Amino acid sequence: MYSKPKKIGNLEIKNRFVRSATYEGMATEEGHVTDKLVELYKKLAEGGVGLIITGYAYVQQSGIAFDTQMGVYNDDLIPGLSKIADIVHKYSQDCKIALQIVHCGRQSRHLEKTLAPSAVLDKLTRKMPKEMTVEEIKETIEAFAQAIRRTKEAGFDAIQLHGAHGYLLSEFLSPYTNKRTDEYGGSTERRIKVVEDIYNRSIELVGKDFPILIKMNGDDFLEGGLTVEESKKIAEKLSKLGFAAIEISGCMWEVCKRSKKELGWKSTFVPESRMLIGTKNEPAYNLPSAKEIKKVIDVPLILVGGINSLDLVKQILTEGSADFVSLCRPLIREPDLPNRWLKGIGESKVECIYCNGCMSSLVTTGIRCVKKEP
């Protein structure tokens, strides 16, 4: 089952393994691609994964999170991005690659002044973002669409909008962060509008055949935020609009504020990457939302979060709760995990212990496994 190809839009994915977007900390200060980045993606392509989704690349400088983050905000960045698409296709012709694009909104940690749909205090960073004007929203919509054009020109097979984890698009979708009363806020329909506008403008530039994916929260895990009842409606609408696949995740960074006490998670940060899966936290922790959302969408569903064994992959795919499984930390530890599983080598369990030690490598060496004893 996990070795069977399946299409995302017109794109054939050779197996059911996806590399979930993982910020790499390896770009230049202007967001240009480096040799280190090219090497990272070569290794992943060789490791057997069907679809690689890159770390988040920012579409506008007002939406940057880190100063070693990839950018896709102007045409000068295209040649560098091409190097990543080319190496993946060279080393594994049938491995596909999508660029993930983002505006980090009020979670633009690198910036003093942040933008968001509404001026809602970020209780984690203690920053009060500026509410975007309609003109600023329209500029950001155009920036996303132009980024998608650049991604296609750079030779990528697809793109993914980062609409999860409390970044700008997630902030528009969520009633917790979107308090607008104009055409971009209020009802579920109006909170979706920004994503809809990006999609509609993008297909004018790249056509309907270039697969546009989205990663979104099934649940914000914040009181007053998105719950699965509403995310089902959003996913259904986006699938009808033309999104080629939907990846289901959960959380906003602000959840960190209450994670220890209320949720009993050990981590005080990175809520979307829960720690110690299978010991402290549930494996496949977004599966309950995915199961509900799967009932209402007619495009492939990609499930991410704590997928820690091949036995679990088999169960998820066999019961039809998802069409693809997506892995982040296990592939930092073992970039060749898909090949290992496909060839039946070793344990069903991943080697990753979900300690989040990899997070510390981001600001020093760039992403790598730094296993911490729990």
Ligand X SMILES: Cc1cc2nc3c(=O)[nH]c(=O)nc-3n(C[C@H](O)[C@H](O)[C@H](O)COP(=O)(O)O)c2cc1C
| Interaction site with ligand X (CB under 6 A) | 20-23, 55-56, 100, 162, 164, 215, 249, 272-273, 304-307, 327-330, 358-359, 362, 367
Q: Give 351's contacts (C-beta < 8 A, 6+ positions apart).
A: 330, 333, 334, 337
- The letter for the amino acid at 75 is D
> Counting beta carbons within 10 angstroms of the beta carbon of residue 229, is it exposed (0 to 12), middle (13 to 18) or buried (19 or more)?
exposed
Catalytically annotated residue among 73, 167, 176, 354: 167
- The letter for the amino acid at 49 is V
Tokens encoding 124: 């984690």
Closest-CA residue to 62 (of 19, 2, 106, 93): 106
141 close to 201: Cβ distance less than 8 angstroms: yes
Closest-CA residue to 216 (of 192, 235, 233, 189): 235
Least distance in Å: CB of 307 to ligand X? 6
Closer to ligand X by Cβ: residue 312 or 328:
328
Closer to ligand X by Cβ: residue 87 or 304:
304
List, in sequence order, every residue forming a beta bridge with 161; answer none if it has no partner. 101, 214
List, in sequence order, every residue forming a beta bridge with 100; answer none if it has no partner. 56, 160
Closer to ligand X by Cβ: residue 49 or 164:
164
Least distance in Å: CB of 204 to ligand X? 26
Least distance in Å: CB of 217 to ligand X? 10
Q: How far apart are CA 56 and CA 58, in angstroms?
A: 6
Reported as type and span, the H/E element at residue 288 is helix 287-294
Question: What is the sign, positive or negative, of the torsion defined by CA atoms of 87, 88, 93, 98?
Answer: negative
Closer to ligand X by Cβ: residue 185 or 358:
358
Least distance in Å: CB of 165 to ligand X? 6
Q: How far apart are CA 284 and CA 236, in angstroms?
A: 22
Least distance in Å: CB of 86 to ligand X? 21
Closer to ligand X by Cβ: residue 31 or 306:
306
Is 167 an active-site residue?
Answer: yes
Closer to ligand X by Cβ: residue 189 or 282:
282
Which residue has tokens 């399946």? Answer: 6
Which DSSP string corresponds to 23-64?
--S-S-TT----HHHHHHHHHHHHTT-SEEEEEEEESSGGG-
Least distance in Å: CB of 276 to ligand X? 11
Q: Which residues participate in catalysis according to the annotation?
A: 167
